[in-house]
Amino acid sequence: MEKLKKYVSVKDEDHFYHQGAVELLIFNFLLILTILTIWLFKNHRFRFLHETGGAMLYGLLMGLIIRYVTKSADVGSGTVYECEKLKSGPSTLLINITNQVYEYQYKREISHHNVNGHQGNAMLQKMTFDPSIFFNILLPPIIFHAGYSLKKRHFFRNLGSILTYAFLGTAISCIVIGLIMYGFVKAMVHTGQLKQWEFHFTDCLFFGSLMSATDPVTVLAIFHELNVDTDLYTLLFGESVLNDAVAIVLTHSISIYSPKENPNAFDAAAFFQSVGNFLGIFAGSFAMGSSYAVVTALISFMHLTKFTKLCEFPMLETGLFFLLSWSAFLSAEAAGLTGIVAVLFCGVTQAHYTYNNLSPDSKMRTKQLFEFMNFLAENVIFCYMGLALFTFQNHIFNPLFIFGALVAVFVARASNIYPLSFLLNLGRKQKIPRNFQHMMMFSGLRGAIAFALAIRDTDSQPKQMMFTTALLIVFFTVWVFGGGTTPMLTWLQIRVGVDPDEDLKAKAASQSASNLDKNTTKAESAWLFRIWYGFDHKY
């Protein structure tokens, strides 16, 4: 009997590794298809479907095949056994079956209509990623690359506007989505689709915070290819980079907001605690990321000035740069802060200080390394989004909730862009024109961050409904709005074929002669940046 058990155990272990190899092979195959499609699109200048949309489409088809071709090997899968003595779901369950005790771990709540034979399908379970893979492995290279590839002069010329859209705009989006969704949730309760205690106002705000994370990667790629007006590109890129960081910290702050009495009532103490938590985490993460970048810059400076001879070994120099940057993320997570915010500001600071201290070979290698990692991670995430529509086993599709979310997302984007642009234009010399505002409204796509935040917690049925809805909104915005970017640029008569450096010179030359002193950076920059530039230049 013992030999038989050992044989079955070894067999199960071999089967587990076999399925792991199949999973990696599937993703490898999907990435190969995506790369070939990108080459085809670029070769034929096809801009109605971006590479991310293609990756999602391939993932969707593969997920469909996996779900309906593979079957569960476990005969008992999908069978529900009653446990009348249990009043709640324990984290660990010990079960005695014919005098043999087995240990089972709690995974998540399952809706009654999702109880079927697919629950025991090992292939579907393997194809459902652990959310920590997204936050610890796939997202950091994407966020770091966004900071490291930032065009500083254009970014800081619009710093005040970018900060307004990223911080105030994200907060407005979160509140508007939360309020609209609360109205739809009340309607669902009234029609009997939800129970009163299942969905609270804080849950609606949580959904609002994760859906406030914009990811216009499709639009920005087309902007970059067409050389769209520099100010529009900078505003949209800067907003999306900082907006992701704000949305992640905001989601965490709302998740710990817990009123002592009624979950739907406003609790001033809990509110100010969440606000303090948001500010503390954001400031701490910013300091952590910037500190690591300054340390890397100092080390690189010592190499450059021949205190050490590491600059003579570009491979080692690049390796040290990469590991110190990754350490910023890991240190922030270990300290209870947000690694994504830390790695973003680490990238921005590395680009400003460290990059110029690297040897010429290391400059080229770091640029190419992070560009490649960003490309690979981004396409893996979008492939997985397509897969998840069929491989995730606990979707809850509620038409009223999905429709409400679509309405809320568009109303929130309009409530963010148009009023803030009006206020910003009161103090800007270079106004944000109406066609720019319409394009920014149109470019509010949802993507990797919204998906990663939604999949991070799918334990309860409300969170499963949020995840399903977020996934469908990502599909809709990437395919419909991403595909409509080129026609929209033409319709709004936005300049294309603009050289960024020439555009910057032309705008500087158009200013009054009194502003054009030898220190052009001060004249070109936003007032907020002038203060920083003075400090940076001095010290």
Tell me the per-residue pLDDT of 373-421, one tens digit each, with 9 for 90 and over.
Answer: 988 888 888 888 888 888 887 888 889 999 999 999 999 999 999 999 9
**What is the model's pLDDT at position 87?**
66
pLDDT at 537 over 80: no
Listed range (146-155, 276-285, 433-442) with the worst mean pLDDT? 146-155
CA angle 68, 117, 475 (to 5 degrees): 50
**What is the model's pLDDT at position 76?**
52
**What is the model's pLDDT at position 111?**
59
pTM (global) more than 0.85: no
Measured CA to CA, the distance from residue 172 to residue 182 in angstroms comes to 15
Q: Which residues of 226-248 are buried (b: 16+ CB within 10 A; e: fewer)?
A: bebbbbbbbbbbbbbbbbbbbbb
Higher pLDDT, 85 or 320: 320
Res. 181 pLDDT band, cuts 50 70 90: very high
- What value does the mean pLDDT take over residues 75-89? 63
Res. 147 pLDDT band, cuts 50 70 90: confident
* CA gyration radius, the chain: 25
Res. 120 pLDDT band, cuts 50 70 90: low
pLDDT at 146 over 90: no
Residue ranges of E strands in 207-260: none
The burial class, CB within 10 Å (0-12 / 13-18 / 19+), for 451 is: buried
**Residue ranges of domains in the chain, CATH in brackets:** 130-510 (1.20.1530.20)
The whole-angstrom distance between residue 133's C-alpha and the CA centroid of its chain comes to: 13
- DSSP run (H or E) holding 96: strand 92-97
Taking only the tens place, the pLDDT of each residue in 293-315 is 888 887 766 655 555 566 677 78
